[in-house]
Amino acid sequence: MTKAIKLLTALPQAQRERLMELAKEVSFPEDTRIFEAGGTADRFWVIRSGAVHLDQEVTARKRVTVGTLGAGDLLGWSWLFPPYQWDFGSVAFSNVRAYEFDGPSVLALCVEDPLLGLSLVRSVAEILAHRLEITRGRLMDEYALGRRSPL
């Protein structure tokens, strides 16, 4: 399995510095719902410390954790693709500190600096591919053990 891609370290330094000009430091106390599936996706975060669970509602009363993110991880990618709605929900598993980025501002920067845009989209694509690989591995492990899928 490949090593996780971290968005800020994947970008070349000059592009990372331009992106960081748009960063705002935020924090979320433990158990804070950061976003809900189906909500408007207009921002993203890079986690500085703490942990976040990604979840999916399976019934009106039950959510299933589908992933956990930590320091350096990208939280949120739906801001990049129409219809700009979250595919999952997200909750702070512990106290979280993060850099927050406004999606429309980042998209405008990508239009202004196409090289940064290409690097950013490639990095996000690599992150998503890595997460799909992890999920596939989990599903195969569950199948091999004769269990129902956790997803």
- Condensed to tens digits (0 to 9), the pLDDT of residues 117-131 reads 999 999 999 998 888
Q: Using an 8 Å Cβ cutoff, are 46 and 32 in contact?
A: no
Asked, for residue 68, whether it belongs to a domain, the answer is yes
Taking only the tens place, the pLDDT of each residue in 62-101 is 888 888 999 999 999 999 999 999 999 999 999 999 999 9
Radius of gyration of the chain (CA): 16
Q: How many domains does the chain have?
A: 1
The average pLDDT across 44-65 equals: 91
CATH number at residue 129: 2.60.120.10
79, 43 contact by CB (below 8 A): yes
| Cβ count near 129 (within 10 Å) | 12
Report the pLDDT averaged over residues 31-41: 96
For residue 1, being part of any structural domain is answered with no
State which residues form the domain around 73: 7-143
pLDDT at 134: 79
149 located within any domain: no
Measured CA to CA, the distance from residue 61 to residue 18 in angstroms comes to 42
